[in-house]
Structure 1
Amino acid sequence: MPDAPVVFRSRFGIVLTIMFWAIAAVGTISAIVDGMPPAVPGAFLTAAWFVWLLFWRPSVVVDADGTEFRNILRDVEIPFSSVETVRTQYALTVVTAGRTYRAWAMPAPSSVNPKHVRPGREEQARNNDSPATAAARLIRRGAETAAAGADGAVTARWQPVLCAISVALPLACVALALTAH
């Protein structure tokens, strides 16, 4: 298992977030310079927050003890000892004792199917794996080597700070818009 945590995150999500932040920064600065109502820069900042929340934050972290799914507003820590099955049909999915956990950050891999790889090209196909497939491989390897009888309690927790910001920002924009006149 990896000595240091391995983080899987959508490259597209990172690029999209950076591009949107650049646009939001220009829009915010322009709105302030042009003397627009405070709700306008607030709307840009609120949109930038939600783009980050939806496209940058989701990730899958695999370390020596297990995996963590950092979804939009909720994180799930899954020890390797509790993993029963790992699937990548629609999204990276880990099944534990009767529960199923999906990673928002890891949609299904592309249509490249190992069954369609020509003999002798298996290693090339492995090197071209999607992030979901690579993460699934690490999780399966960890589950196979997990100590039998180890504490396998899955921990799922909401992120109250992220939830509060996600509610407060739109409410603040509405309040600014209503009080601007």
Structure 2
Amino acid sequence: MTAPHRFRSTPARVGAWLWMAFAALNLLDIALRGRDLASAAVAAVLLFGCGVAYVVGLRPVIAADEDGVTVRNPLRDVRLPWPAIRRIEATTAVTITFADADGAERTARAWAVQTSPRAHAKAARVAQANKRAAVTSAATRGGAQGGGSRTPPDAAGRTPTMFVAQQLNELKTRHRGARAGERAGAAAMGWSWPAVASVAVPAAASAALVAALLVS
């Protein structure tokens, strides 16, 4: 079994690890010198920030293996077998349209890789212009030489979401072909309770300690 293909946002991961390092240094300082309620409140806020950094920067991923795709968003997970996937598209995020257990179409939007609306619109214009230029060039050479020409794949101007969608579509074609005739498995969706707890617990502790600090 081959290792899964994983797609993540590098800037988000770097930002999350920078916050983790900042929080760790401050928590160490609080552990050494903090002895009052204010220190406990600051520690809880730092831990809440770590929870947010984890669910937003470190946890999101799109993982594709031989059996399907796992979309891990900040607080929810979606597991999609290849036969259940209808379409994989790139907009400002990677969106996967799939059939649920009842056959109805649903859409999963991946948090892991995103593109700004402006960058997506610009890339779409570039792709259309390149496609028209390639068709015109092929027609011109075909008329002059009596044959067509092979157009090279267009990689210019692609956004990260376009790249990931292309990779996933290639994997879908490969693995669905290998599993032709198999019955589509059911998609699985649900909350990630450890991720929810990583934010909810320090948030509740922060709120309680700040409230206690205000009334003390």
The answer to whether TM tops 0.5 is yes
- SS of 1:4's partner is coil
Is residue 66–residue 139 contact of structure 1 (8 Å, CA) maintained in 2? no
1:153 counterpart = 2:152 = no
Is residue 95–residue 101 contact of structure 1 (8 Å, CA) maintained in 2? yes
Q: Which residue of 2 aligns with 1:99?
A: 106
Q: How does 1:2-13 map to 2 (within 5 A)?
A: 3-13=2-12
Residue by residue over 1:36-56, the C-alpha shift from the partner in whole angstroms, topping out at 9 and shown as x without a partner, is: 521111211211211221122
Percent identity at matched positions? 25
Is residue 8–residue 131 contact of structure 1 (8 Å, CA) maintained in 2? no
Q: Which residue of 1 aligns with 2:161?
A: 132
Structure 1 window deviating more from structure 2 (148-157 vs 62-71): it is 148-157
Uncovered stretches (5+) of structure 2, i.e. residues with no partner: 100-104, 135-149
* 1:114, distance to aligned residue in structure 2 (A): 2.6
Q: Which residue of 2 aligns with 1:30?
A: 29
* 1:28, distance to aligned residue in structure 2 (A): 2.3
Residue by residue over 1:54-94, the C-alpha shift from the partner in whole angstroms, topping out at 9 and shown as x without a partner, is: 12211100111111100011110111111111111221001
* 1:101, distance to aligned residue in structure 2 (A): 0.9
- SS of 2:155's partner is helix
Q: How does 1:6-155 map to 2 (within 5 A)?
A: 6-35=5-34, 36-97=38-99, 98-108=105-115, 110=119, 111-112=122-123, 113-117=126-130, 122-123=152-153, 125=155, 129-145=158-174, 146=176, 147-155=180-188
Larger Rg computed on CA atoms: 2
Q: Which residue of 1 aligns with 2:102?
A: none
Q: Greater share of helix residues, 1 or 2?
A: 2
Change (3 A) 1:108 1:91: same
For the residues of structure 2 that align with 1:129 and 1:4, how far apart are their CA atoms? 25
Q: Which amino acid aligns with 1:133?
A: M
TM-score (norm 2): 0.71
TM-score (norm 1): 0.83
Number of aligned residues: 179
Structure 1 window deviating more from structure 2 (59-68 vs 29-38): it is 29-38
Give the CA RMSD over aligned residues.
2.6
Structure 1 window deviating more from structure 2 (14-23 vs 104-113): it is 104-113
Q: Which amino acid aligns with 1:134?
A: F
